Structure 1
Amino acid sequence: MTTPRYAYLGPAGTFTEAALRQVAGPDEATYLPQTDVASALAAVRSGEADYAVVAIESTVEGGVTATLDSLAGGEPLVILREMLVPVQFTLAAAPGVRLADVRRVSAHPHAWVQCRRWLAAHLPGAVHVPATSNTAPAALIAEGGPLPFDAALVPPPAVSTYGLEVLAHDVADNATAVTRFVVVGHPGSVPERTGADKTTLVVHLPDNEAGALLAMLEQFAARGVNLSRIESRPIGDALGRYSFSIDAEGHITDERVGEAIMGLHRRCPYVRYLGSYPRADELEPTVHVGTADADFVGARDWLRALRDGSAT
């Protein structure tokens, strides 16, 4: 069998790689590190990779816009699985650097946001030097030579991988921070329903229509489908035009979810299905009275009987 190829945000040691290892170890797959999320998804679209592992949501910043925007357009891709990774950082530097020496800190923008209160308390006035990933500055430190920063916020495993010196452990404003990652691939067979699933969609609203957002949300509410995430993103073609990125509880083969998606298709000008897949936390949704599969099937059978005159 051909070894599956996974594109992910590299270099080695990132939280994305930690998420990838939950799916397939390095002896089971070919790891293809990329410089950013867009490149990882582009590798799947071009055929360079079979799958991509990318961050999609964090408890600190919400949706990862680079992922949401890339999935919302272009050649269709779907989410096949999700993984959860706890996130804390280590402040590290080249051997010989002291905490008192640090004036410039390299960090991925998401890492900086998740640690800014800690940095303000321990390194007041420190300047942020943006990095393309959480381990990119660690790799630069390991290469030696002049650096545009004094220290870096990196995942704890990167310390030993790149031979860094620890200046501070457990750097984070939120000790329980978690990032949600997803495996993305080409459309095909939908993963089997588990009973604890999630369905992701992108939906555009009709233009200049009062109550359009309410009408869209009613497609879910009327069928008992809870939304675990909804975020607006600019469509990009004009000011004031937004799409909605949505995570709905349930699987597309659930009657209530399928009915809601059909309602969106009737009501909204653009609906992109981004997959139904098992929830990483395995939480099953609450199914309210009248919204179980049997309720929808029974109601259709009753209507059919009314139409053919066999019921009153």
Structure 2
Amino acid sequence: MPDTAASETYSYLGPAGTFTEAALAQVPQAAGKPWRSVNNVGQALDDVVSGRSVAAMIAIENTVDGGVSASQDALATIPNLRIVGEYLVDVNFVLVARPGTTLADVKTINAHPVAYGQTHLWVEAHLPHHGHLPATSNVAAAASLLENDLADAAIAPPTITRHHDLDVLATNIGDNPNAQTRFVLVSRTTALPGRTGSDKTSIIAELPDNRAGRLLEMLEQFATRGVNMSLLASRPIGDALGRYRFVIDLDGHVHDERVADALLGLKRFSPNVIFLGSYPRADKLPITVTPRYENEAFTDARDWLRGLISGEPDEGFGR
């Protein structure tokens, strides 16, 4: 049975100094509460499911590699989880090594696979014959340099020298100067954050079969209701080749009429729809909707139909 401390604990991919910790630092309700460092997404979400933590911060998408597959797959297969918020962190990297090491000494690099992917242009240009040793986190990669000699250098956040005595061999090694990672805070709560007018709704859906046009049919559920998708990613279901589920982010809140109506249509179409939550957008940009898709248009249409069914006189084309 979870104790009081666990009910206030937040899990994140650690150790201290990771980009995930920087995302968690943006959560007002997490300030002053216990934070639990974990090694991977599965462990973070298991903390939430088991009650060891009230919520977990995980990376879900970045501007270089797109969706984070481990997080998307975990959200698709672990039941009763909800996204309650999203947070953006600007991402840049440095190459660090043990004191006294030079760039010419570097033969093997320890790096988290995502960080490695976001710096591969610099690494290939400056260390074309290097080897890559995967790490569980960017900070763990750097810390390992002081624990063993399996790698000569590590890719880490620029703040790494606040935590470890390492030399910086190169700065700004990220391939994309505009790189950002999007994080989501995941909880067991079913209470929806209130509608703000700048919201996002995340779902996962499967196609009913592999017949031609099925994907178009699914997308039409959103297009015909004026609902924009900010993310559409496919992930293998795993039971057979050619079978995929789709991770989808929608602009809007489930309390928006157009989003609710689209989800009703999707539920009739798809054999499996997972609602991951509606929550405020991190960028706070307002959602622009054409008049025929505003809430009033849907309520007016329902009132019109209700009137027809109840026998009210049709007052003309204006109805």
TM-based fold match above 0.5: yes
Match of 2:25 among 21, 26, 35: 21
Aligned to 1:59: 63
For structure 2, which runs of at least 5 residues remain unmatched after alignment? 315-319
Aligned to 1:211: 213
The alpha carbon displacement at 1:125 in A equals 1.0
- Paired residues of 1:9 and 1:36 also in contact (CA < 8 A): yes
Aligned to 1:153: 155
SS in 2 for 1:290: helix
Aligned to 1:281: 283
Q: Distance in 1 between matches of 2:210 and 2:122?
A: 44
- Paired residues of 2:76 and 2:204 also in contact (CA < 8 A): yes
Superposed counterparts of 1:180-199, under 5 Å = 180-199=182-201
Aligned to 1:37: 41
Off by >6 Å, runs of 4+ in structure 1: none
The alpha carbon displacement at 1:141 in A equals 2.6
The alpha carbon displacement at 1:26 in A equals 7.4
- Paired residues of 2:228 and 2:250 also in contact (CA < 8 A): yes
RMSD between superposed Cα atoms in Å = 1.4
The alpha carbon displacement at 1:211 in A equals 1.5
Aligned to 1:50: 54
Aligned to 1:7: 11
Q: Distance in 2 between matches of 1:129 and 1:198?
A: 36
Match of 1:133 among 122, 130, 137: 137
Aligned to 1:272: 274
Aligned to 1:122: 126
For structure 1, which runs of at least 5 residues remain unmatched after alignment? none
Q: Distance in 2 between matches of 1:74 and 1:189?
A: 18
Query: Among the aligned pairs, what percent are the same residue?
Result: 51
Match of 1:69 among 70, 73, 76: 73
Q: Distance in 2 between matches of 1:286 and 1:24?
A: 28
Paired letter, 1:125:
H
Q: Deviations over 1:208-240 (max 9, x none)?
A: 332111111111011000000001110111111
Q: Distance in 2 between matches of 1:174 and 1:210?
A: 37
SS in 2 for 1:272: strand
- Paired residues of 1:53 and 1:181 also in contact (CA < 8 A): yes
Q: Deviations over 1:135-154 (max 9, x none)?
A: 11222234x4x321000000
- Paired residues of 2:110 and 2:142 also in contact (CA < 8 A): no
Aligned length, in residue pairs = 310
Aligned to 1:234: 236
